[in-house]
Amino acid sequence: VAGMQYLHRLLGPIINRIFEEKKYVELDPSKVELKEAGCAGLHRQQTESDIIQQSSNLLQSYLSELLTSILQSASYCPLLICQVFHQLYLRVQERFPDPEYR
């Protein structure tokens, strides 16, 4: 399997941290579990909107870390994967040639 070590090195630390943190993340309003927030004696019920916003922020943070890791990995990306990405890039350019998509 081309690139398995690369993927483990690239994504492993971030994915492991996400699982270890065990933070509640939900974007589907029909599945949001309302919970109390705050210190003892100062509890308030979080709203659905609060939870979705916190979840969105957390997911954006995780995705930003993943993207940064991917962008910084070019020096050790296996040649085969680089070639696949290059072909994908060329096909996308063919399909969306307008400057607004570059």
* 5: its two tokens: 């070590």
- Angle subtended at Cα 1 by Cα 15 and Cα 13, rounded to the nearest 5 degrees: 15
pLDDT of residue 101: 78
pLDDT in tens, the chain (102 residues): 778 999 999 999 999 999 999 998 989 989 988 876 555 556 667 888 888 999 999 999 999 999 999 999 988 899 999 999 999 999 999 999 998 877
In whole angstroms, what is the distance from residue 80 CA to residue 30 CA? Answer: 42
Q: How many domains does the chain have?
A: 1
Provide the H-helix boundaries in the chain: 4-21, 48-71, 79-95
CA 11 to chain centre: 10
Taking alpha carbons only, the member of 87, 73, 88 closest to residue 6 is 73
Range(s) of the domain holding residue 59: 4-101
Phi/psi of residue 37, nearest 5 degrees: -130, 150
Whole-structure pTM value: 0.69
